[in-house]
Amino acid sequence: MAHKDQSSQCYPRTFLQPDEWAQLTDQGVLAKEAAHYFHRVLRLKAGARAQLFSSDGRSVEVILGEAKKKHEVEIVREINAPESSLRELTLIQGAPKASKCDHIVRRATEAGVSRICFFRAERSQEKLDKVERNHARMMSVAVDAARQSLRATLPDIIYVPTPLNIEHADINLCAHLIEGEPPARVKDLLSPDNSLQSIALWVGPEGGWSDGEIDQIQKIGGHCISLGPFVFRSEFAGPVGVAIIRAAELGL
């Protein structure tokens, strides 16, 4: 019987889908892809310890068995993730070319995004359904990024015709500069002692925001912010913005 623990050493780790998690806990058998990663990619031997985690935050430490057809493991303990002080952070991304979405998902996941919402902005060059067709691959990218960055949960990735179709966050930050108006300072908006529970970061596609879209964002209380003195490509702006927000939350 596995016992619970509040801490964890930094063992090699990977993610399991819900059905794979059930196979692990019910039968003590490791999913084929996870077994390949531990035994073939990392070259771990029988007796090595590893960590497995699921999309809902569950995590266990295991001891690997022999690399046979049926990859059995022994569950050593359940690992309780520490409470996070970070707020729910959604990246609302105007759909770029489909080829750029993998980069956005990977880097935003590593930076700590909670959810990525793709939508077709007025100046998007790609249809939303073409972006959505790559969902399975983007989730695979998110798994790899979570594994690399040692986060225990995966971001949700959703697709909506317009962001107005999703619930509004407590505060909306828009990566956009308005001529003649100084941008808001992220660290001033995200004071640690305020009651904000959720944040939305709005990033436009390659062609940027239209005036009408900026008006809509401001009507729901959006604050225009700067990501620094230089202009980023669309696929970099979102992850950079996520990193800036997380750094401000942590007082870095």
Segment 108-165, tens digit of pLDDT = 999 999 999 999 999 998 899 999 999 999 998 998 898 888 787 889 999 988 776 6
Q: What 3-state DSSP class applies to 64?
A: strand
Q: Quick one: the chain helix, strand, coil %, rounded to 5?
A: 35, 25, 40
Q: Give 173's pLDDT tier (boundaries 50, 70, 90).
A: very high
Work out the number of other CB atoms within 10 angstroms of the CB of residue 43: 9
List of domains in the chain: 3-79 (2.40.240.20), 88-250 (3.40.1280.10)
- Report how far apart, in Å, the C-alpha atoms of 117 and of each of 61, 63, 105, 146, 204 are: 32, 37, 10, 18, 12
Tell me the whole-structure pTM to 2 decimals. Answer: 0.80
Work out the number of other CB atoms within 10 angstroms of the CB of residue 22: 12
